[in-house]
Every structure is written in structure tokens, then in C-alpha cells.
Amino acid sequence: MHIPDGYLSPATCVIMYTASVPFWYSAVNRVRKALTNRTVPVLALFGAFSFVLMMFNVPLPGGTTGHAVGGTLLSILLGPWAAILGVSVVLGIQALFFGDGGLLTFGANCFNMAIVLPLVGYFIYKVIASDSEATSSRRVLAAVVGSYFGIVAASLAAGIELGIQPALFHAIDGTPLYAPYSLDVAVPAMLLAHLLIAGPVEAAVTGLVFAYMQRSHPSLIKADESGGKAGKIWILWGALALLALATPLGLLASGTAWGEWGVDELKDMGLGFIPQGLEKLAGWWPALFQDYGVPGTGDVIGYILSALVGLVLIAFLLWMLGRWLSQKNSSKSGSFSKGEPRS
């Protein structure tokens, strides 16, 4: 579902950045009030889990691939605003270091996967879960249904963004300058892939992890409402490390995700042309570990090393961001206690 550089016009990229900024701003302010030193490790853990989860590609109809995201799960545990920050950091690291997505399209990818996905997923989860107990089976159902429709909504947004490009940005002869497929192709392709395959995978992963968290850390299920304690989660860190070692299973799914083809792949697809803007902007950023590979290593070793590097980077950044936000909240609260009372 990542949209690479070159598939959206510069004007569209600016619009998507502009649309995402208010959500990032609100997320920082809201997370600062809710995050505590006890829940910071949870943000780092499940942000890193989202990164590793996206490396497990699954085959989709038509010879393409897809992946789960894990954004709804993070929104359930820490609230949707924490999920916006967490998944945004993941997408930023993917674009900067691994060439997954793009820096120009970062705003669009965040809008789809870090904003639309967790907000839609969390809303549906809250509607179904209502005031049920933290250990209720209804909450598992709510997590499954919410995560399914969250990723489907994100795929719809991505399909629309890609599909409007040929109509808005084309050469004099009508040849598309960026994404080559119109709405009647892009939207069904994105939706069907996520309705049939990627959505059920996202729902299954969310349901399984959520059910485990219910049994082992039930206080986290309402952490965004009552400041639940993170508890001992070192076992989950170990499980995440093992999951990173298993990421080469994601290489078994052949093909490229729909709408993420490189210039050479587009030439081999028999499209008949290469959009000029796409050819100019695609791959302009020299990612250090392009396509999750490490120079001098094989595909499997490179994929594992990329998973471990990304895991450490994201966990560290989210940990530091969380500590900074929680400390600012503590210092602000302390200033009230030392000065005039709150109104």
C-alpha cells in the first residue's frame, strides 16, 4: 500500500502533507497529555512490531503482494493519536533507510496508513466494544472487525490518490505523467486485494495479539482511557526479535505490491509507455538499505539484518519521543503545583 515517489504529482504530495500536518500536531498534543513513563515502552514495542509486520508480504490475486500494518492494534492499546505518531515514525524510517514508499509521498502514505487506518479501525472498535469488560470476547471481535475495515479504508484512500493522477496530470496527448492507471482500475485493484487477502491477514494478526494481551496485560486494553500500566513486556520484546529473524518468509511471496512497480517493472508489464514524471522522480532518494537489502550479503541475511536495524531504530526513536513527550507533560504538571492552582 506504500505509494512510491513518482506515482503522485508534486502538487498532490503537497496537498497530502498539508492534510496530514493537523493530525500530527493534534497527535503530539494529545499524546503528551496521555503518555506516561510506563506506557512509553509499549509505544516503542508496537511501533517496532508494525515495522516488522510490514516485512511479511503475502501473495495477492494478479501476481502482486500485500502486507498487514498493525495500526489498529496500536490505537486500541494506546489510543489512535499515539498510533498516528507510531506508524508515522515507521513509515519515515522505511522511506529514509529502505526505500519503501517515498519521501515526497510520505505525507500521503501517512495519511493512508497512519491516520485513516487507525482512526477508522479505532472508531469501529469502540462502537462494537462499547462499555464491555477489558477481558470480554466482544473486544476481540471489535479488534478484528475494526482492523479489517481500517486497512480496507486505507487502501481505498490510496486507490483514489493513485486513480485521480491520470485525469489531473497528463501530457497534451493524454499520456499520464505519474500513476498510469485511472480510478476505474486503481480503486478496484486496491480494494479487492485488501478485502480478500490483506484485510483478513490484518484482522487475524490483530485478533491473535489482542487476545494474548487480554490474558497477559489486561490493564493495557484500556490504557488510553484509564492510564493502564504496561506491566512486564520483556517477553514480547523477545518474541519480536524472533519474529524479525523469521522475516525472510516474506520473500516467498513473489511479485510487487500493486502500484509500487519500479520503472523497469513497468517496462516489462507491456504498458507501452513510462510516465515522464514518474520516470523523473522514481528512486531519486539513495536509500542505504534499498529494498531491505544489505550490500555484500544474500537476500535472506540482508532481509534479517534490515529487520533488526529497522526494529532497533524505530524502537529507539519512539522510546525517545515518548520519553520527551511524557517528561514535558510531567514538567507542565509540576509547574502548576509550584505556582498558582489550576482553574
pLDDT-based confidence at residue 343 (cuts at 50, 70, 90): very low
Q: Please compute the mean of the pLDDT values over residues 312-339 and round it to a whole number.
A: 75
What is the rounded distance in angstroms from the CA atom of residue 139 to the CA atom of residue 137? 5
Report pLDDT for 341: 46
Between the ranges 107-121, 167-181, 248-262, 320-334, where is the mean pLDDT highest?
107-121
Number of structural domains found in the chain = 1
* 1 is a domain residue: no
Could you tell me which residue, 317 or 264, shows the higher pLDDT? 317
CATH number at residue 285: 1.10.1760.20
3-state secondary structure 120-161: HHHHHHHHHHCCCCCCCHHHHHHHHHHHHHHHHHHHHHHHHH
> Mean pLDDT in the chain?
89
* 4 is a domain residue: no
Q: What angle, rounded to 10 degrees, do the helices at 80-98 and 40-54 form?
A: 50
Q: Which domain holds residue 333?
A: 10-338
* 5 is a domain residue: no
Which among 151, 180, 196, 183 is positioned nearest to 260, based on CA atoms? 180
Q: How confident is the model over 301-313, as pLDDT tens digits?
A: 999 999 999 999 9
Cα-based angle 91, 94, 97 (whole degrees, multiple of 5): 140
96 pLDDT above the threshold of 70 = yes
* 2 is a domain residue: no
63 pLDDT above the threshold of 80 = no
195 pLDDT above the threshold of 70 = yes
Greatest CA span in the chain, whole angstroms?
A: 71
pLDDT-based confidence at residue 93 (cuts at 50, 70, 90): very high
pLDDT-based confidence at residue 338 (cuts at 50, 70, 90): very low
Report pLDDT for 342: 41
**If 0-12 CB within 10 Å is exposed, 13-18 middle and 19+ buried, where does residue 160 land?**
middle
Q: Please compute the mean of the pLDDT values over residues 96-107 and round it to a whole number.
A: 95
Distances in Å between the alpha carbon of 29 and those of 4, 227, 295, 321? 30, 16, 40, 13
| CA-based torsion, 75, 78, 83, 87: positive or negative | negative
Share of the chain above pLDDT 70, in %: 92
34 pLDDT above the threshold of 90 = no
What is the rounded distance in angstroms from the CA atom of residue 240 to the CA atom of residue 225? 26
Cβ(100)–Cβ(292) below 8 Å: yes
What is the rounded distance in angstroms from the CA atom of residue 121 to the CA atom of residue 295? 38
pLDDT-based confidence at residue 319 (cuts at 50, 70, 90): very high
* 60 is a domain residue: yes
pLDDT-based confidence at residue 135 (cuts at 50, 70, 90): confident
Report pLDDT for 114: 97
* 343 is a domain residue: no
Report pLDDT for 336: 44
What is the rounded distance in angstroms from the CA atom of residue 63 to the CA atom of residue 256? 8
Of 162-171, 253-262, 304-313, the least confident: 253-262
* 306 is a domain residue: yes
